[in-house]
């Protein structure tokens, strides 16, 4: 039985976010014994976090075989990730939520700029078909030298090779209206671990998950 290979963006400045994200996945997974977590971290370069480019190494890290999921660490998963691994990627290199929006917040956590650009946040949840031939272009050398525009817009693929996931799998907190059926909430402007976002919309559910992650065994 193949594991659910899940690669999660890790930044030491918000390490707690990574662990809360893992906690939320475990709590909702129908087959937790299949979960396989790998933190993703690399040079920050011109980006706002330590995994802004390292995420594109997932196919290489999987030896260009099988299916894998990448998600940013500033997320709360509210549904069974097994659902994603049942999604077909046979004819696609990736499947993503295809956001089309302009940010309400030109500055985000830790004072980082938050510019608008085409296909913004498409690369924050990526169901990878690691075996897909065009994805073999994503070697460490290519990723180290490619522009952010090339990578985050999936420019090595043609549009028909970029499949779609439902919007409930990447709801952007503070950028979009939250929905009861959200399966994944993305605290893209700032995770509630930061004081400026501790009381933002959707923060209490994040804090509850955090408390369960650190709670000692009682009784």
Ramachandran assignment for 111, one of left (phi > 0), alpha (psi -120 to 50 degrees), beta (any other): left
- The Cα–Cα gap between 219 and 212 comes to 16
158-168 pLDDT per residue, tens: 999 999 999 99
Spans of all domains in the chain: 4-214
Higher pLDDT, 152 or 216: 152
10 Å Cβ neighbour count for 16? Answer: 15
The whole-number average pLDDT for the span 73-79 is 98
Give per-residue pLDDT as tens, 169-204.
999 999 999 999 999 999 999 999 999 999 999 999
* CA pair distance 199, 21, nearest whole angstrom: 18
* Mean pLDDT over the full length of the chain: 95
The fold adopted by the segment(s) 4-214 is Spore Coat Polysaccharide Biosynthesis Protein SpsA; Chain A (3.90.550)
64 pLDDT tier (thresholds 50, 70, 90): very high
> What pLDDT does 219 receive?
58
């Amino acid at each position: 039985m193949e594991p659910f290979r899940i690669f999660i963006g890790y930044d030491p400045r918000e390490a707690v976010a990574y662990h809360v994200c893992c906690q939320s996945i475990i709590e909702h997974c129908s087959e937790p014994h299949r979960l396989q977590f790998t933190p993703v971290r690399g040079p920050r370069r011109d980006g706002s976090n330590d995994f802004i480019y390292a995420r594109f190494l997932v196919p290489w890290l999987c030896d260009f075989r099988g299916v894998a999921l990448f998600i940013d660490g500033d997320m709360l998963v509210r549904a069974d990730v097994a659902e994603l691994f049942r999604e077909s990627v046979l004819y696609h290199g990736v499947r993503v939520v295809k956001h089309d929006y302009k940010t309400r917040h030109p500055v985000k956590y830790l004072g980082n700029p938050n510019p608008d650009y085409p296909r913004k946040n498409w690369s924050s949840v990526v169901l990878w078909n690691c075996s897909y031939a065009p994805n073999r272009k994503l070697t460490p050398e290519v990723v180290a030298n490619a522009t952010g525009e090339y990578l985050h817009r999936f420019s090595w693929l043609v549009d028909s090779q970029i499949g779609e996931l439902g919007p409930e799998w990447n709801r952007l907190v503070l950028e979009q209206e939250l929905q009861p059926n959200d399966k994944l909430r993305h605290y893209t402007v700032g995770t509630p671990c930061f004081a400026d976002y501790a009381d933002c919309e959707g923060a209490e559910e994040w804090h509850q998950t955090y408390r369960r992650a650190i709670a000692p065994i009682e009784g």
